[in-house]
Copies of this chain bind each other. A is one copy, B any other.
Amino acid sequence: MDTLKINITEEIKNKGLKLTSQRIEVLKAIYDLENHPSTEEIIKYVQENNPAISQGTIYKTLETFVENKIISKVETSGGVFRYDGITKMHHHLQEEGSPRIDDYYDEELNNLLIDYFSKKDIPGFEVHDIKLHIKGKFKK
C-alpha cells in the first residue's frame, strides 16, 4: 500500500516531473486497473476518488507519462487508446472482436527471441523491443 505509493511518487519524480495529486491518481489508476485500461476507464476510476480532476488533465497526464516512458500506449484495433503500466517484457493475448487483452509472460520465449535476434540481423533496422500479438480464442 504505502510501498506502492512510494513507487508511484518516485516514478514521477525520477523523470523530473512535478508531483501533483492528479498525476498520482492517474498512475495509481493504471496500476489498479490491471487489464490495459482505456482512457474512459481511467477517467471513471480517477473521478470516483476525486471528481475535481478534469478529463483534459487526465489526457494530458497520460500523454506526459507515455513521453516519459512511465507507461505505454497499447496498440489496439478498437479505435480507442489503452494503456499499459508494465515495463517488463511481455506479450499480449487478444481475441478478435473482444476488448479483452491479457498479458502473457514467458521467459523461455523471451530468451528464444532475444537469442534469435542477436544472431539474425534485420537489414536497415535496429531492434529495441519485441512484443508478440497472439490472436486466438479465450477458452472457458
Pick from B79, B124, B125, B136: contact of A134, CB under 8 Å: B125
Q: For the complex, would chain A's binding face be called helix, strand, loop or mixed by DSSP majority? A: strand
Pick from B77, B130, B138: contact of A73, CB under 8 Å: B77
Contact across chains for A126 and B122 when beta carbons are under 8 A apart: no
In the assembly, how many copies of this chain are there?
A: 2
Q: Mark A69-96, 1 if CB is under 8 A from B, else 0.
A: 0000111110101000000000001000
Q: In this complex, what residue of B is CB-closest to A133?
A: B131
A interface, size bucket: 20 to 34
Excluding A104-B122, A129-B135, A129-B136, 9 further A-B contacts by CB distance (< 8 Å) are A73-B77, A74-B77, A75-B77, A76-B77, A93-B125, A112-B112, A124-B138, A125-B136, A126-B137
A135 neighbours in B (Cβ, 8 Å): 127-131
